[in-house]
Structure 1
Amino acid sequence: MRQRRSGLLRPAAGWPWRLGAAIIALCVAAPVIALVWMSLDGSLDHWQHLARHVLPTALRNTALLLLGVGVLVACLGTGSAWLVTAYDFPTRRVLLWALLLPLAVPTYIVAFAYLDILHPLGPVQGLVRELLGYDSPRQFRLPDLRALPGAIFLLGFVLYPYVYLSTRVMFSTQAASLLEAGRILGQSRRGVFFRVALPLARPAIAVGVSLALLETLNDIGASEFLGVQTLTVSVYTTWITRSDLAGAAQIALSMLAIVVLLILLERHGRRHQRYANTQRMRPIQPEKLHGARALLAMALGWLPVLVGFVAPALYLLNETIKHFDAAGGVSAQLLQSGYNTVSIALAATFVTVAGALIITWAARSAHTARSRFMKLCSRVSTVGYALPGTVLAIGLLLPLIAIDDLIAWLARPFTDASPGLLLMGSTAALVCAYVIRFLAISVGSLESGLARIPPSLEQASRLLGESPSGTLRRVHLPLLRPAIGAAALLIFVDAMKELPATLLLRPVNFETLATWLYAEAARGTYEEGAVAALAIVVAGLLPVMLLARHQLKSGH
């Protein structure tokens, strides 16, 4: 009787669901296993050459870039979150969601825009020289953006919303009584921030900074445009330029070690995150600012938005209008790139959501004896988001070639001609990379959606004689539509923006909007590159606006 009740409380998924979840988890883990295998397959001479000529510069630049971006995003994100939480000033309600807008602009697009905006012959430096009375760039020019400080500056102003988002939620949910107690004990408002609010928000800051650093490590376009030789750029040049796959795998393995270190640091930063509160908390009431203090707060609040979103977006819009006025439209190649981008993104979105549905349903409906294995599969399936695109692309080579060899072996009895490489060098390889990289987004969204569905609905469905698959189809899927829609939108936009994996795995003569922009910037031409960049930014605005709307509606 006890076993039957347990079965009713948790209907067992059939073996196809469990097998599918295990296969998906294995596919996600395969690139990491292959990466270790390829790096060990390289000769000692590879390691010696890398250790002497490549790794010192790349490691130093990567470490300094991560350190600088980490400090900058922590300051910008935490400061802006506290500003809009603790103070009330004109435009504050608009600023609450506007501070999220830089998330819509990929890092390589910001670098692409600012290289032209801050060019010695560009509008900004021309205006500065005119105000100072100079006639030529030889007489006066601003420091060159193509350097490590320029990369830190631009990446910091684009990635700070990761810290702002998590930290503002923490600040807005802190009890006002804690801050008032600090004021009663003689602390100034600044002292309350540093001694009460900031220590409580450290776990949220650690989460935001770690996400920003993972995005920094994944970046290839901005770093290459700005002339910074990072590990990501070294992987690309070692494989594509030098045709040294073993060396690229060894550098990728070094990047993987940094990713593991970042994750460990993030977990260490929130290891003591424990909150217990049984009473209804009164939220922080922002202090009303007037006069010069209100103007200063407005200026400080809008500065990250202007630098991280408004300036590059206006530049792209202006360049797009100029291009349409001059050319009367876009080229057929750019239209084809847009079609390729949408097609690949749609395919990756469908496969990713379907895979996440298999994993989450298998984990939810597994028997107690199998639940640990299903939870392990669920956790393994989400590690792809922590892999930089270049690392993922290198790691996928061996598994894709192995599958192609298996298909050729199975087809040998039926045909004399070899089918060749079906996955490698095809759009299927891109879809595989996107699915592995963005599966964590879909799994997290569907797990959250399933957690809101009470088990009583499953019990009622089972008592009425429905199978687990029928319960999923008739009960859960209609209730999961919002979660599925949100996950699909995020995956679609992220797939449109993905550059590193696309550069390394795309078929010959296959361009997406991201690779088209990369090629235009590499050639130093900005006309149609601006059109492609603006299309990516407009697509990226959709999830950011939905996120901002959700925040304002929920009060967070």
Structure 2
Amino acid sequence: MAVLAMGVGAAVLLPILAVVGQLFLEGTSDTWAHLASTVLPEYLWSTLWLCLGVALGTASMGVGAAWLVTRHDFPGRAAMEWALVLPLAVPAYVMAYTYTDLLQFVGPVQTALREAFGWRRGDYWFPDVRSLGGAVLLFSFVLYPYVYMLARTAFLERAGGMLEVGRSLGLGPWGSFWRVSLPLARPAIAGGVALALMETLADFGAVSYFGVQTFTTGIYRAWFSLGDRVAAAQLASALLGFVLLVLMFERLSRGRARFHDTTLRRSAFMARRLPLGPGVLALVACLIPLTLGFLLPAGVLLHMALTEGDAQFGSRFIELGRNSVLVSGLTAFFAVLLAVLLAYAARLNPGWLVRLMHRVGGLGYALPGTVIAVGVLIPVTRVDQVITGWLETSVGWQGGLVLTGGIAGLVYACVVRFLTPAVQSIDAGLAKVTPNMDHAARSLGLNAGQTLRRVHVPLLRGSVLTAALLVFIDTMKELPATLVMRPFNFDTLATQAYVLASDERLAEASTAALAIVVVGLLPLVVISRQIARSRRSSAGSGST
């Protein structure tokens, strides 16, 4: 098991080492010098401003919504608790297409304004959604649920006695929030913001469609437009540095502060009942991010799909769906298999080397898809050329590249990218299995492999299904790695939506985009049930 764990960790590390190794093996290229003197400063500042804006936007919306639904009672609060996570079902690039169609000059909003006031072009100013500011708002509305879910959990799990003490010392609702609840939830909020920033850095479709020049768009342009893999790898290394900075920010934001619940009694904090007026305002405050992040874009997509739709809907759409399901299914299978091996090896061999490989196995989720794709292409292409040459000389093979000519390279990149949620789900499932069951199985003569197959796998059935579902949905939505790694003439729902929207065929892109959103709702149903269950359990523990 330890050897298998080290093999999995090496497979995850290979793309990273391939990207970083280009800096030392290839040196600098003329393309890199040109990029450094022309567009690299723009990549740097655009990425910095984008991250800063998204951090502020997601933190304010996520923390505000979590505080409202956990500490206040108002009309519609029960529905808002689970509905506020729904924007996660909408990929950022899908959101970009829908808002562009809605807010462009010939869109329904500006058309209605011109008809209502008799305006013509040049008579009024309207903000351009395809801009850096538009990208900041878009990512904030899509990604705030990361902060909301973690902050809400932190608000619920902290002892109600602390807030009671704060009230006894004269703190009002705002004072309790700023001086008690917010400091206690700071690690969770920082973790949610870090997740949102990593998703922002990983995005390609939205920033490309909005014309925002970031490191991700630069990597794609250097690889495909300029044909320079060295420059693409160097830009990928710079983007990797940004990701490390985000992770360092998350760690440093905690400082040396540690927050522990030292009370032995679980006292639930009673939500403060708001009067009708403030209660309605609280409901509106929750509805704003939900509407702009999910209800409005989903409604626009549904309207376009029903009224205009995709002219290729039919056999072509079935082919796109089959390709998406094929790649997502294979990725989910291999990711769950490797996650089980990693988690079980860490359970059997708690040494530092296995623990290190276990952590490395979860590193891919922090890396943008373009970085992983470039890191996979560099070594896999060389291996592919060796295999193809050997097959040609040995058996007369003339079928072309084996790995990168098919979907094997794409599946490998997606497994590296989305191994983390699978590992986390399996770890959580194994943690619930008492070690006494391992000891009992060994006393009956079962070895490690037999114990895993006959004892742990049946007990992990729910965790395995959850892990497979999360990886499947994430792969369905993945765009950057799919664009870079897909074989010739192989399209998925994500690439179809991107290509059609890039050609300004937004109505035709709506069918594929809506399918991705509908599939993305599946894991959110599970998350929503968990939120409702945790609320009931919290209330139940407080009443005992």
TM-score normalised to structure 2 length: 0.95
The 2-side partners of 1:416 and 1:334 are apart by 36
Q: Does 1:116 align with 2:96?
A: no
* Residue type at the aligned position of 1:21: A
Partner residue in 1 for 2:333: 350
Q: Does 1:181 align with 2:165?
A: yes
Q: After superposition, where does 1:32-71 map in structure 2 within 5 Å? A: 32-40=16-24, 41-43=26-28, 45-71=30-56
Q: Does 1:207 align with 2:187?
A: no
The 2-side partners of 1:408 and 1:18 are apart by 32
Give CA deviations for 1:1-60 in whole Å, capped at 9, x if unaligned. xxxxxxxxxxxxxxxx33222211111000111101223314354443222112100110
297, 300, 315: which is aligned to 2:285?
Answer: 300
The 2-side partners of 1:226 and 1:405 are apart by 37
The 1-side partners of 2:379 and 2:332 are apart by 21
Q: Does 1:518 align with 2:502?
A: no
- Is the Cα contact below 8 Å between 1:87 and 1:287 reproduced in 2? yes
- Is the Cα contact below 8 Å between 1:425 and 1:505 reproduced in 2? no
58, 71, 95: which is aligned to 2:80?
Answer: 95
Give CA deviations for 1:154-187 in whole Å, capped at 9, x if unaligned. 1101100000000000111122222222222222
Give CA deviations for 1:52-91 in whole Å, capped at 9, x if unaligned. 1121001100000000000000000001100111111100
Partner residue in 1 for 2:455: 475
Deviation for aligned residue 1:280: 1.8
249, 253, 258: which is aligned to 1:273?
Answer: 258
* Worse-superposed segment, 289-298 or 509-518: 289-298
* Worse-superposed segment, 169-178 or 55-64: 169-178
The alignment-based identity, stated in percent, is 43
Q: For structure 1, list consecutive stretches of 5 or more residues without a partner in the other structure.
A: 1-16
**Secondary structure in structure 2 of the residue aligned to 1:246:** helix
Partner residue in 1 for 2:541: none
Deviation for aligned residue 1:273: 3.3
Q: After superposition, where does 1:2-401 map in structure 2 within 5 Å? A: 17-40=1-24, 41-43=26-28, 45-131=30-116, 133-271=117-255, 272-323=257-308, 330-366=313-349, 371-401=351-381
* Residue type at the aligned position of 1:255: L
Deviation for aligned residue 1:418: 6.3
The 2-side partners of 1:408 and 1:150 are apart by 47
Q: For structure 2, list consecutive stretches of 5 or more residues without a partner in the other structure.
A: 539-544
Give CA deviations for 1:348-399 in whole Å, capped at 9, x if unaligned. 1111111111111122122x6xx22211111111111111001111111222
- Is the Cα contact below 8 Å between 1:121 and 1:137 reproduced in 2? no
* Worse-superposed segment, 543-552 or 181-190: 181-190
- Is the Cα contact below 8 Å between 2:219 and 2:370 reproduced in 1? yes
Corresponding pairs, count: 534
* Residue type at the aligned position of 1:99: L
The 1-side partners of 2:118 and 2:69 are apart by 40
The 2-side partners of 1:222 and 1:530 are apart by 15
Give CA deviations for 1:423-467 in whole Å, capped at 9, x if unaligned. 123211110011000111111111111111001111111111112
**Secondary structure in structure 2 of the residue aligned to 1:283:** coil
Give CA deviations for 1:269-290 in whole Å, capped at 9, x if unaligned. 2342341424123122111112
- Is the Cα contact below 8 Å between 1:234 and 1:248 reproduced in 2? yes
Partner residue in 1 for 2:480: 500
* Residue type at the aligned position of 2:512: A
* Residue type at the aligned position of 1:318: H
The 1-side partners of 2:470 and 2:97 are apart by 23
The 2-side partners of 1:385 and 1:422 are apart by 27
- Is the Cα contact below 8 Å between 1:334 and 1:516 reproduced in 2? no
The 3 A distance-change label for structure 1 pair 104 and 444 is same
* Worse-superposed segment, 70-79 or 522-531: 522-531
The 3 A distance-change label for structure 1 pair 230 and 50 is same
The 3 A distance-change label for structure 1 pair 296 and 278 is closer
The 1-side partners of 2:399 and 2:344 are apart by 36
The 3 A distance-change label for structure 1 pair 194 and 278 is closer
Q: What is the root-mean-square deviation of aligned Cα atoms in Å?
A: 1.7
The 2-side partners of 1:43 and 1:198 are apart by 47
